[in-house]
Chain A
Amino acid sequence: MKNIAIAIFVALIIITLSLYLISFQVRETESCLKTTFGKATIEDEITRPGWYFKWPFPIQQIHRFDSRMRTYEVESEETTTAGGDPIIVSTYVVWKIARPLEFFNATKTVKRAQSELLHSRIRNTQNNVIGRHYFSEFVNSDQSKIAFEEIQKETLKTLQQDIEDTKCGIEITALGIKQLKVSEEVSKEVFDRMRAERNRRAEVITSQGMGEAIKIRTDAKSKAEELITAAEARATAIRGIGDAEAAKHYKKLEADPELAMLLRDIGALQKILEKRATFVTPTDVRPFDLLKGLPELKPAKPDEPEK
């Protein structure tokens, strides 16, 4: 019994070990290429995960490729647009190994793929595509004319086509421009323009403000004047009513117009001389004639009227 148990145990171990030699796993994150004496065909590509069999080492060999996405960026570079404007862009791509056989034949390692294959191709495509577009398509004060996203898409398509044609097993999944800059010289010009634009705007704002303020002031002034004029008109009307009412009383004066005029004159005289006045008079005016001496006066007879 003991021996049987041991035998099973040993057998298990031997099976496990031999399975290691003749089978292999492909993880979700990778793809494999099975070479027979160094040679491989398209059937030897294994891109689906799972458990596969092979001949042991010297006969068949497994090459594993990480099939996950990697990013690769090209350093900033100056290029020119269709209009001849210098522009500095930096492009990145997201790529992965899609076809292990092609990749194995073309480059074998990720590092070489990036530095030898991708670098120059990205640069070329980027410069070509940008050279086909005007700077005003990158940025424009009219939003509808901005084609920045379209340019990126065009670059991606061109690069995808290019990479596919080279049959290096690489697939580009995304591409983007992550820096969009202008040259040193141009940046100075931009600053000058920005400054001028700001100054212009400041002037516009100031003059608009001044204009508005003046308008408010004059509006208020004319309103106030108009109101006062209206009030004055009303006041004149009231005065007129007063005068009319007073005129009714004048009728009574008609009883003796001369006396009325005299009374009026006296009243006026009193009023005129009401304030500080210097009075010079000769002595032959009543009652100052009294100063010359007492007049001869006879008592009037009661029935004789005074002259």
Chain B
Amino acid sequence: MKEQKEDNKDVRVPDTAKPTVHELDAAGRSLSEALQVSFIILKVIMIVLVLAFLASGFKAVDSNEQALVLRFGKIRGVGEKRLLGPGLHWILPYPIDEIIKIPVETQVNLPIDSFWYFQTQQEILSGQMRPVRPDQPLKPLQDGYCITRGEKQDEVIGDFAGSDYSIVHSKWQLTYQIDDPERFFINVYIEDVKPGDIYFDVITGSVEPLLRNTFEDAVVTALVNYTIDEAISSQDRIPKHIKRLLQEKLDKIESGIKVVSVQLTNSECPRQVKKAFEASTTASQESETEITNARTYAANTLNEASGPVAEKLYAALHDESIDEQTRELLWPQLAGTAREKIADARTYRTEVVERARANANYLESILPEYRQRPELVLQKIYLDAIEQILGNNADEKFVVQTTKGSKGTQIRVLLNRDPKLKSKRSNEQAEQQNQQTVNR
């Protein structure tokens, strides 16, 4: 604009000087022609400049942005019309209108590591943990952590009640987005964009301290309500609680920022007490194994005793409401030791009945003969038996000659006892003894 004005003056000076050089014919004419040409050029330039001035009102809004227009510093329009969506827009040129673009669609991640213990750059890069002594304290200015509440106890122990808090380390990631461009623009401090800066980076950089502070506040506030076990088991409940708290805080100051998500990326008990924590985990695993083993043992024992039907039968035996018929249905399904016992009894039953029947029949069959010739029949039966015993059964036989009147004669028989027999017998005895002690 200023340039334009100066150009104008330059033009006017020769213009007023024109009559004084009227006499110089040819020179004058060529001069006036030159002036006329330059005047036309000047006009063109002026028109171009005016057009350029008007064209400077065309503004492009990116697809991830929405824009506000300030007219004399005040937001233009009402309601929905205040916001310009992506595309090309024409506004009145500077200094009347001004466009403010706000990147609303882009979600920004903000990692928060300030609740983690101090790590040197090298440790972070190498991913290795520095060993700590169990009695090494946490330096409040260096190491970050949160305080969690203690487990609620049934009995209250005097003054000590409630002070058994724990310490927990955690890492978080916050994802946010600008939700309300107008509120955001009016309320949130954004640094001036300096040449060379990227507008988007300036916005995120300026918002960071506010978000970082409110987020840390939300984390500290939320975590005192949880126990350390809840905090390190990465429950979904805690991030949700924090998200709610943070959104409340951001809404209260009308920041126009929306919390998209809060993630607990890592949480750990302090390294100093890790061993004790691991030991308690091992303990619970071990006791689970113990219980599983016991269950296996129980299943095996019951199976051995009476097979798969054991539990059912046991329940049936103890349930008064189950009638005898149902119980009877279960008995035949028995297996294992119990079945063996019953089977043995059945065998016994058959055996004993059959033997009695056989004996009776035998007696019945020989009775007529016996009545007629008792001596002979008896002798026959007796000798048959002796024959059988001595013929098949006795391994060794000794027949000793007896003489009359030789009473008191001693007969010594050296029995060559079968060593197998002896050992077998003593084994049996030992077994019996064992069983007796077991039964006891």
Chain A residues near B (Cβ < 8 Å): 6, 9-10, 13, 16, 25-29, 48-51, 66, 68-71, 73, 76, 78, 88, 92, 94, 96, 135-136, 138-143, 145-146, 148-149, 152, 173-174, 176-185, 187-188, 190-191, 193-195, 197-199, 201-203, 205-206, 208-210, 212-214, 216-217, 219-221, 223-228, 230-232, 234-239, 241-243, 245-253, 255-256, 259-260, 262-264, 266-267, 269-270, 273-284, 286-288, 291-292, 306
Contacts and interface: CB of A to CB of B under 8 A. Distances in A.
24 contacts: A28-B186, A66-B189, A148-B220, A177-B217, A190-B165, A191-B270, A191-B273, A194-B269, A198-B273, A199-B280, A202-B280, A206-B286, A209-B291, A217-B294, A226-B317, A236-B345, A252-B364, A253-B363, A259-B370, A260-B359, A260-B363, A270-B389, A281-B397, A283-B400
A40 to B, nearest CB: 20
Contacts of A198: 273, 276-277, 279-280
A182 B338 CA distance: 67
Given A180-B147, A194-B276, 11 more contacts: A13-B1, A73-B209, A92-B217, A179-B216, A181-B145, A216-B295, A227-B338, A231-B337, A238-B345, A242-B350, A282-B402
B310 A223 contact: yes
Contact of A224 (B301, B351, B375, B396): B301
Contact of B288 (A202, A209, A221, A267): A209
Nearest to B134: A191
Contact of B362 (A143, A241, A248, A263): A263
Contacts of B272: 191
Given A181-B147, A206-B283, A235 B341 contact: yes
B221 A152 contact: yes
A173 B135 CA distance: 42
Q: Which 8 A-B pairs have the closest CB atoms?
A: A209-B287, A242-B349, A176-B217, A220-B298, A235-B345, A231-B338, A224-B305, A246-B356
B156 to A, nearest CB: 9
A248 B362 CA distance: 15
A201 to B, nearest CB: 5
A228 B249 contact: no
Contact of A68 (B141, B190, B366, B393): B190
Nearest to A260: B363
Contacts of A26: 73
Nearest to A266: B385
Contacts of A227: 302, 305-306, 310, 313-314, 317, 338
Interface stretch (B19-27, B194-202, B413-421): B413-421
A190 B136 CA distance: 11
A276 B389 CA distance: 10
Contact of B382 (A135, A174, A250, A266): A266
B326 interface: no
Contacts of B70: 27-28, 49
B381 to A, nearest CB: 6
Contacts of B213: 71, 73, 92, 94, 176, 178
B183 to A, nearest CB: 11
B193 interface: no
A122 to B, nearest CB: 13
Given A187-B137, A242-B352, A234 B294 contact: no
Contacts of A173: 252-253
B152 interface: yes
Interface string B266-282: 00011011001101101
B149 A141 contact: yes
Interface residues of B, number: 145
Nearest to A213: B294
A76 B313 CA distance: 70
B355 A138 contact: no
Contact of B147 (A139, A232, A263): A139
A208 B286 CA distance: 11
Contacts of A76: 140-141
Contact of A197 (B164, B270, B402): B164
Contacts of B46: 9
Interface in B361-418: 361-364, 366-367, 370, 373, 375-376, 378, 381-383, 385-386, 388-390, 393-402, 411, 413, 415, 418
Nearest to B358: A249
Contact of B72 (A13, A51, A206, A232): A51
B37 to A, nearest CB: 15
Contact of B301 (A184, A220, A264): A220
Contacts of A224: 301-302, 304-306, 310
A193 B166 CA distance: 8
A280 B398 CA distance: 5
Nearest to B215: A178
Interface string B86-112: 000000000100100000000000000
B162 A145 contact: yes
A281 B402 CA distance: 10
A278 B186 contact: no
Given A141-B162, A177-B220, A269-B389, A188 B375 contact: no
Given A174-B253, A177-B217, A183 B140 contact: yes
